[in-house]
Structure 1
Amino acid sequence: MTLTNATSTRRIRRLAERQTTDRDALFELLDGELVGHLAAVVDGAPVVVPMGYARDGEHVLVHGSTGGGFALRAASDRSTVAFAVTALDGLVYARSLFDSSMNYRSAVVYGVLEPVEAEATDAALLALSERLMPGRAAEVRPTTRKEASATRVLRLALDDVVMKQRAAGASEAPDDGEDHSTWAGVVPLTRTWGTPQASPLTPAQAPVPESVVALTTRPAPNRRLH
């Protein structure tokens, strides 16, 4: 499967060989991360805000308060936004600082934010919840109508995407003129969840819920160097 780039000018020019059009790689990136950065131009000035998100099929879902925010404004203005997600997989130690690098996967999605229809809001909020805190919705009280009405869910189609990645060791060659007795290689970066910490008002005898146990014991989503 390949990515769809509706705008032909959105092409990586520097190190263009690192661009990928593999849609499965895009989904792996989006499904493995929890935070993206939404960017828009507001009153002539750039605004970038980090926010949690979820991929729902061919869309990215984000949410915010109905009381305002630049995302809602961008949606109502039908202005183009950019949503960026990056995963750092490791640091690449070469034999010079100039040649040192990172192993990473990054994607930028361009498009117009669309409000999720009222009848689909509950399902969209559940999708966000299940992505960020899987299983938690079944353990807590239902969302009230007041809470739901104060929340707006927006979606961004995965139609115009540029993705770039690096997954390799340090650049080297037998005749590169470097001192090969100097160590070179990759330090992979992995993430793990810490020990759950109960809130001050949670009774000491309250068991850690299944959703938290599952979250803290499942493998991290990082992709190791091949």
Structure 2
Amino acid sequence: MNTLSPTPRTQVNRGKNRAVLDRSALHDFLSDALLAHLGVIAGSHPVVLPTAFGVNLDGPDDGGTLYLHGSVAAGWLAKALEHDVCVTITELDGLVAGRSAFHHSMNYRSAVVIGRARRVEDPTERERALAAIVDHMIPRRWETLRPSTRKELAATAVLAVPLAEASLKVRAGGPVDEPEDVADGIWGGHIPLRRVAEAPVPDADSEGAPPPADVAARAASFAVA
């Protein structure tokens, strides 16, 4: 599938001109973004939880697979399997200063994924999923780590959400102001924002040792151009 075909649940209704229908753009965004929020119905109320994530575009689910993880003791875990879930992933790219309060806004890239989560039980897929989550944070980190213990794996749940039902919305640039406000001479524009990493900080037991190549490269990837 090269085109996003939103369902009624993922159709962009407000700001339709900001909807992106190229599925490869969604893939690029998921590669760049770092933080997801998982929305579940937990009994009588909704719960939205921040979480790390990983992606396997060739995964076993329709449209590819979005992987999330959590503690098996978490109360939301069982609830996430009872109903469809909503995963939102957003990157803030700027603050928009309009010439009126009404036209202040934000520049962003935001994806919404809706689907039925499944609990990953197959050991091989679980390992691939956990590797994808770790390497999404710091590429090539997984291969440097010791194998997970049985106790650690038993305490960790992995959820898979299909990427088939998704939408992507992007806003960029300055404000869209009323002509009369522009004529009044009030300043309008936007403040670009981006992620910037400081130098890696070793913990007490690594004091004096240089950061490994994977950590140093990840920090450098956020350096200001």
TM range (shorter): 0.7 to 0.9
Q: Per the alignment, do residues 205 and 47 of structure 1 end up closer, same or farther by CA in structure 2, a change over 3 Å counting?
A: same
- Structure 1 runs not aligned, ≥5 long: 222-226
| 2:66 is equivalent to residue 60 of structure 1 | yes
Report what 1:74 is aligned to.
80
| 2:154 is equivalent to residue 153 of structure 1 | no
Check the 8 A contact 2:10/2:113 in 1, yes or no: no
Aligned residues: CA RMSD? 2.1
Check the 8 A contact 1:34/1:54 in 2, yes or no: no
User: Could you tell me how far apart the structure 2 residues matched to 1:182 and 1:45 are?
Assistant: 44
Report what 1:139 is aligned to.
144
For 2:106, give the aligned amino acid: M
User: Could you tell me how far apart the structure 2 residues matched to 1:220 and 1:162 are?
Assistant: 30
1:73-123 per-position Cα deviation (integer Å, ceiling 9, x unaligned): 322x2x111000111111112211211211111111111111222332111
| 2:164 is equivalent to residue 164 of structure 1 | no
Check the 8 A contact 1:53/1:61 in 2, yes or no: yes
Q: How far did residue 135 of structure 1 move? A: 2.3
User: Could you tell me how far apart the structure 2 residues matched to 1:107 and 1:86 are?
Assistant: 6
Report what 2:3 is aligned to.
2
For 2:38, give the aligned amino acid: L
Report what 2:200 is aligned to.
196
Q: How far did residue 4 of structure 1 move? A: 3.3
Check the 8 A contact 1:110/1:160 in 2, yes or no: yes
Check the 8 A contact 1:86/1:106 in 2, yes or no: yes
Check the 8 A contact 2:40/2:79 in 1, yes or no: no
Aligned length in residues? 216
Check the 8 A contact 1:95/1:179 in 2, yes or no: no
Report what 2:186 is aligned to.
182
- Output the TM-score relative to the length of structure 2: 0.87
User: Could you tell me how far apart the structure 2 residues matched to 1:208 and 1:50 are?
Assistant: 27
Report what 1:14 is aligned to.
14
Higher helix share: 2
User: Could you tell me how far apart the structure 2 residues matched to 1:181 and 1:213 are?
Assistant: 47
Report what 2:119 is aligned to.
115
Report what 1:224 is aligned to.
none
Check the 8 A contact 1:190/1:220 in 2, yes or no: no
Check the 8 A contact 1:39/1:81 in 2, yes or no: yes
Q: Per the alignment, do residues 118 and 142 of structure 1 end up closer, same or farther by CA in structure 2, a change over 3 Å counting?
A: closer
- Structure 2 runs not aligned, ≥5 long: 58-63
Give aligned-pair identity as a percent. Answer: 35
- Output the TM-score relative to the length of structure 1: 0.86
Q: Per the alignment, do residues 220 and 106 of structure 1 end up closer, same or farther by CA in structure 2, a change over 3 Å counting?
A: farther
